[in-house]
Amino acid sequence: MQDVVILEWTFSPPDFFEEPIHIVREDYEMRIDSGKVEARIDPDIYDKEHKIRDELHEALNGRFLAVQLLTHKPYKLSKACMCRLHSDGRKDVTVFLDSCVMTAFVGTLDIVVKDKHGKVISDSRKERAEKKKELADLVQKYRSEDPLLSSLLRSYNAAVNDPNNELVHLYEIRDALSGRFGGETGAQTALGISGTQWSRLGHLANDEPLKQGRHRGRTAGALRDATETELKEARTIARGLIEGYLRYLEQTTTSKS
């Protein structure tokens, strides 16, 4: 048996990704399943690359932030603990204290549609899991090299965990992308979003007398809570903006290749 360094994390809810994930990279192998993450690393690589634990944690957290776009649910991800297995059977364990982000989860109703012969036509759970993986892979690919993407994900994460200011945080996404593309028209074109959707997010965040909105002082005493329909609409538009930006990054990279 060869020596190996194993990094382990725990997360909740345990079915956040719904399906097991296996990631193979040149310098590590990672498995994500049922509330646990395990990354196996060659000891020589781990000892030479002192930042690899933090880098893997950031990459892993990026996957959670990507999936959060689809679930709009909080999560909790622990810091990694390290186990070094030696060829003679000895085991060294190191625990890194502290944890980051969120709690809670609400279940989702899934639908499987089959034809008269029993063949599955659509499976909402499978389709959702595939979408989660697709987004997570894109975020992991670009988050470390694109500060704006990190900022967009932080804003969406803040919207999840600061519901009293949810529309403020969702509008930050629109505002940041407008700046990135030199204005509203440029952003809408680059991201493939309609003017109607773009304006609707602005209307909900700025003009409606909502307690979760940006300009609460304009209608003091006459504010109301946003309806769940309004919040879902704003979340969908904001998520579409981030997905559009991911597609833009992917297309731009492909065209340069």
In the chain, domain spans: 1-143, 146-252
Question: What gap in Å lies between CA 224 and CA 209, rounded to an integer?
Answer: 6
Q: Which residue has the tokens 């697709």?
A: 134
Evaluate the CA torsion angle 250, 253, 256, 257 in order and state its sign: negative
With 80 as the cut, is the pLDDT of residue 107 above it? no
Q: Model confidence over 53-80: pLDDT tens digits? A: 999 999 999 999 999 999 999 999 999 9
Q: Report residue 121's pLDDT band, with 50, 70 and 90 as the boundaries.
A: low
**Burial zone of 73 (CB within 10 Å; 0-12 exposed, 13-18 middle, 19+ buried):** middle
Q: Model confidence over 196-227: pLDDT tens digits? A: 999 999 999 999 999 999 987 666 668 899 99
